[in-house]
Amino acid sequence: MRTLILGGIRSGKSAHAEHLLADAPAVRYVATGSADGDRAWRARIDAHRERRGDRYRTVESCDLASLLRDFPDEPTLVDDLGNWLTALLDEAGAWEDEAADVSAQIEDLCAAIAGYSGDLVLVSPEVGLSLVSPTPSGRRFADELGRLNAAVAAVCETVTLVVAGRALDLPAGTGAVPAAPVPVSASTAPSSPVPAEEPARPADAPAPRRATVSEPAQIDGTDAEIFPIVELPDHDVAEQARARQLRLTKPARSLGRLEELGVWMSSCQGVCPPRTLQSPAVVVFAGDHAVAADGVSAYPPEVTAQMVANIATGGAAINVLARRAGATVQVLDMAVRADTDPHVSRYKVRAGSGDLRTGSSLTIAEARRAVAAGRAVADQLVDAGADLLIAGDMGIGNTTPAAVLVGTLTDREPVVVVGRGTGIDDATWIRKTAAIRDGMRHARRHRNEPLALLAAVAGADIAAMAGFLAQAAVRKTPALLDGLITTSAALVAQQLAPGAASWWQAGHRSTEPAHAFALDSLGLTAILDLSMRLGEGTGAVSALPLVASSIDILTDMATFDEAGVSGGE
């Protein structure tokens, strides 16, 4: 949900914005105006802070684009754009210089808004409904505000006008947004044009939450399974990193696996010492599977859509762990049987994947679209600055297709690869084993045809993960693998893009027996073994701080010469 709320002073627009986020367990409140001012102004701010309560975490900043990109899935309320624009015009000296142009900053903000995956509500004063002095500077502000509101509206799914506490959703516009400001003769700068906060809406007049509209992404699946040659991480830089490890103030190899991870990160980045991670990103690929309807899981299939909504609003385990690790999270509905938020489902291939027991999870065309979607998401994140990628999963019953893939590609029998998944009992285990057996009958004929294999037994969520992980390697971006589902997709990704596994590390080892077979086949050793089996990307994100620490060791630790410590021979 990306919503722009427009209104005049004391119209109730802030209260309406807060109402739209009433269901979020926690909200980031971005205040663009200073809390400094006269006594009455401070009293108003204190009253509104008290009204919002402990769910709100206040951030005071005018660097909106960076804030939105840093945590693009966190429910966020920005209040308001009028103060942000005033600060922008101040910084540009636009009150005295009529040639000053803030178009680039407005375009950057709109790009950050368009890429936001969580619930985002922005409050802005509507032109003509706010107090603006009738001076050259006031006219400049009004012109720029109109252009800003139109540009933001163009990238929001809903635009609402609030008057006297009543909300009216506006129809989609068709006019073009001016590309440049209207020149005016500037003199004196106006004071802050709009108070940042509004009085509460009356209890008997709640504003309804309305459905948002998002256009599905246009994905061309043509030749999606054909990847360019994967270039391996830089061997020479890896040797430089190993040599540096020997010069650091510690016995050789005394930090064990941390040293290996630091060398790997150096080779992936092509520089020693490696750069500190700035933008690790998690993408959770969600989908339902027909086999789940026959009782192969401890949970009913409808839980998938419920958990997708939970992840989208920041309430799942992956969100909690990612916040601690400094990673962003987005969830994508690739094949959830129920309707989900339009932004979450923009890459959706179908409503539920088919029955793997009959070898008909997807058509070849659907498999191509899913792989292409995963590739497109990886490209978008890398282009936006992501420096480490993690794929997560969400789907009741998805350990069954994952076990089919692992059993097929590692030549194991169904009874060996079947696991307890979400905690199934013996009767469910028997049904699951039978389903894996039936799926492997169809999968084995395609073990050397990765796209056909994905179509037969994988489902759109796992196919998208395979495309995502393979494309990460093509783009020379390191990735951490999570548990069984992600690693089953990695087995196929290694077939699609040979050499891709050199760009991956295994974040953890799941309790699912098939996971160990998959890791052995890929030649990967898990960083953590904490008896985890949740999925979502949680195991990989749990390992992320250790990867970051391995970089810090190479970057920040002193050498024997630098520290004046002897015994480094």
What is the CATH number for 103? 3.40.50.300
Q: Is residue 269 part of a domain?
A: no
Position 52 scores a pLDDT of: 58
Q: Is residue 551 part of a domain?
A: no
Q: Is residue 509 part of a domain?
A: yes
How many domains are there within the chain? 2
> Does residue 62 contact residue 88 with C-beta atoms inside 8 Å?
yes
Shared domain for 154 and 285, answered yes or no, is no
Position 48 scores a pLDDT of: 57
Q: Is 70 exceeded by the pLDDT of residue 167?
A: yes
| CA dist., res. 451 & res. 223, Å (int) | 10
Among 268-277, 300-309, 421-430, 489-498, whose mean pLDDT is lowest? 421-430
Domain region containing 476? 277-544
| CA dist., res. 271 & res. 517, Å (int) | 33
Could you confirm whether 91 is annotated as catalytic? no
Among the options 126, 144, 536, 562, which is catalytic?
A: 536
Q: Is residue 386 part of a domain?
A: yes
> Does residue 461 contact residue 350 with C-beta atoms inside 8 Å?
no
Which of 170, 200, 224 delimits the end of a domain? 170
Among 163-177, 228-242, 450-464, 505-519, whose mean pLDDT is lowest? 163-177
Q: Is residue 371 part of a domain?
A: yes
Return mean pLDDT, the chain: 87
Q: Is 60 exceeded by the pLDDT of residue 240?
A: yes
Q: Is residue 500 part of a domain?
A: yes
Q: Is residue 565 part of a domain?
A: no
Shared domain for 499 and 352, answered yes or no, is yes
Position 531 scores a pLDDT of: 96
Instruction: Pinpoint the alpha helices (H) of 343-412.
Output: 364-383, 399-410
Position 127 scores a pLDDT of: 81
Q: Is 80 exceeded by the pLDDT of residue 175?
A: no
> Does residue 348 contact residue 333 with C-beta atoms inside 8 Å?
yes
Highest mean pLDDT range out of 42-46, 93-97, 101-105, 382-386?
382-386
CATH number of residue 432's parent domain? 3.40.50.10210
Q: How long a stretch of residues is the chain?
A: 569
Helix H or strand E segment including 564: none
Among 38-52, 442-456, 541-555, whose mean pLDDT is lowest? 38-52
Residue 227 neighbours by CB under 8 Å, 6+ apart: 470, 471, 474, 496, 497
Q: How many helices (H) and strands (E) does the chain have?
A: 20, 13
Shared domain for 429 and 299, answered yes or no, is yes
Q: Is residue 65 part of a domain?
A: yes
Q: Is 90 exceeded by the pLDDT of residue 59?
A: no
In degrees, rounded to 5, the angle at the alpha carbon of residue 336 between the alpha carbons of residues 353 and 478 is: 90
Shared domain for 340 and 479, answered yes or no, is yes
Q: What is the DSSP string of 99-113?
A: T---HHHHHHHHHHH
Shared domain for 157 and 16, answered yes or no, is yes
Of residues 466, 479, 463, the one with CA closest to residue 524: 479
Shared domain for 162 and 283, answered yes or no, is no
Which of 170, 202, 232 delimits the end of a domain? 170
Shared domain for 153 and 301, answered yes or no, is no
pTM over 0.75: no
